[in-house]
Amino acid sequence: MTASSMNIAVTYYANYQNYMLLSGDSRRLHLENMLGGLFFPTIQELYDNASGWVITPNQRILNFTILEPQPRIVDEANHVCEINVRYDLKPEAKVFIVGEKKLYPITDFDTRNIVTGGSIYGTMVCRFLDPKWEVNFTPTYGPVQGN
């Protein structure tokens, strides 16, 4: 269990969220060690029903930033640590609704109410299960004190 291997796990989670927004490929959603759910489940429903999708000039919709230099150990015996993070939404990402033939800002689909000022703040709680990590994202609904 190292900080660098945890960094890989939380970065993979961020890439997973981007992939789901860009592709709607819900087969990836069933990873047992990735907890916390999709940031925009309503967009996944649009993909599943072929009634809408995300349009963006970028390959990334979410820019991921780790807000602390080191993770905090929460439970050393069970190998649990946490770190505060932020996902910045690219404002040019839009959702196309087929039936209406219209584009909407991606934030219009924030049914979990986790977007604050164009960003999603939260804490990544990670547990090392040799040889992999279990990763859970918990939104904080705004910046955490000091970040």
Supply the DSSP symbol for 110.
Answer: -
pTM score above 0.85 = yes
Residue with the bigger pLDDT between 54 and 24: it is 54
pLDDT class for 35, splitting at 50, 70, 90?
A: low
Q: Which of 3, 20, 1 is nearest to 87 (CA)?
A: 20
What residues contact 126, with CB distance under 8 A and at least 6 apart?
Answer: 6, 9, 10, 71, 80, 81, 82, 83, 133, 134, 135, 136
Domain ranges of the chain: 3-139
Pick the CATH number of 3-139 from 3.10.450, 3.40.50, 1.10.3470, 3.30.200: 3.10.450
Q: Are 119 and 89 in contact (CB under 8 A)?
A: yes
Q: What is the pLDDT of residue 63?
A: 95
Give per-residue pLDDT as tens, 45-101.
999 999 999 999 988 999 999 999 989 999 988 889 999 999 999 999 999 999 999
Supply the DSSP symbol for 45.
Answer: H
pLDDT class for 16, splitting at 50, 70, 90?
A: confident
